[in-house]
Structure 1
C-alpha cells in the first residue's frame, strides 16, 4: 500500500489524501487583467521533475505542501505552509 506522510498525523494510506495542484502565486483578483487571470485559473506548467503541490489529508482537513518528483511519483518531503516563506 502506498503511504504519504501528513505533517500532523504521520504516515497514512494515500487513499486518505487529495491533491490540490501545484503551488503557485495567485495574482491579485482586484487588479489583474482577464488574460492573466485566465492563465492562472486554466493553465498549469506540468513540467516533469520536482514540484511543490498542495495536498489535503481529508480525515483531518489538514492542508500541506508536498515536494514530489512527478517523473518517479516519489514524495521527497511534506511540510505545513508558512506564509512568511519557506515551510
Structure 2
C-alpha cells in the first residue's frame, strides 16, 4: 500500500482516495456553443504524458475534499500535493497544467 498526503488530513492509505483526472483543465466559456465533437474532446481527451502530471484527487473516505497533486505517471510517485487555488509547486510537461485548454 502507498501513503498519499492529504493537504488537510496528512498521510493516509491510498484506498481512501479517488482519482479525478487531469488538473487545471478549464471549463469551456460557452459550453452551449461547442459542437458534439468539441464537447467530446473536452470531456474525454487528455494528454497521456509520461512523467510529472498535475492531477485532481479526492479524499473520499476522509475529509471529502478535493486537492491537486503532481504525480509521476511512470513511477506512480507523488511529487507534491497542493490545495485548489494555490500555485502549482512543480512545473509539468502538459500545456493544460499551465492554464490553457488548447
Instruction: Please provide the CA RMSD for this pair.
Output: 1.4
Secondary structure at 1:26 match in 2: coil
How far the C-alpha of 1:26 sits from its partner, in A, is: 2.0
Structure 1 stretches lacking a partner, 5+ long: none
Structure 2 stretches lacking a partner, 5+ long: 89-102
Work out the CA distance in 2 between the residues paired with 1:13 and 1:55: 13
Counterpart in the other structure of 1:78: 81
Tell me the TM-score normalized by structure 2: 0.76
Larger strand share, 1 or 2? 1
Work out the CA distance in 2 between the residues paired with 1:36 and 1:49: 27
Counterpart in the other structure of 2:68: 65
- 1:51 pairs with 2:53: yes
Work out the CA distance in 2 between the residues paired with 1:13 and 1:35: 39
Q: Deviations over 1:49-81 (max 9, x none)?
A: 111101000121110001000011110011111
Count of aligned positions: 85
